[in-house]
Structure 1
Amino acid sequence: MLVLQILRGVGELALGQQAQAQLGIVGVLVLLLIGIGLRAQRYGLAIGAALVFVALMTQA
């Protein structure tokens, strides 16, 4: 269980660093929207933000 939490934390950090390096503050804000959507159980917001994130990452 602890190993999964550590891997999740490292993955979140790596994804945040990559998003910030490629997209700047916009990438970080989109990742924040994904997190907010998942926490609030608003999956439409999370899925929409994830699609925008993927589209921005492929264009950058």
Structure 2
Amino acid sequence: MPAIALLSAVLVVGFEQFVQWQYGPMGIVGLLLISVGVKAKSPACSTLGAAVIAVLVAQPAL
């Protein structure tokens, strides 16, 4: 059981680092809003986080 928890924590941290590397601090803000919205069962917060991620993904690369 502790191995599964450790593995999931490593995967989450790795995914957050990838998002920050790819999309910067606003990517982390978007993920944070999504996760807070899911845990608090707040559709508005989740939608705002998804919108932030969508805008970051849709912007043209410079």
TM-score by length of 1: 0.68
Note the residue ranges of structure 1 that are not aligned, 5 or more in a row: none
Count of aligned positions: 57
Q: Percent identity?
A: 35
Q: How many angstroms does 1:16 deviate by?
A: 0.7
Runs of 4+ in 1 over 4 A off after TM superposition: 57-60
**Whose radius of gyration is greater, 1 or 2?**
2
> 1:1-55 CA distances to partner (integer Å, 9 max, x unpaired)?
212211211111111100110100111101101220122122x343x334753x4
RMSD: 2.2
Note the residue ranges of structure 2 that are not aligned, 5 or more in a row: none
TM-score by length of 2: 0.66
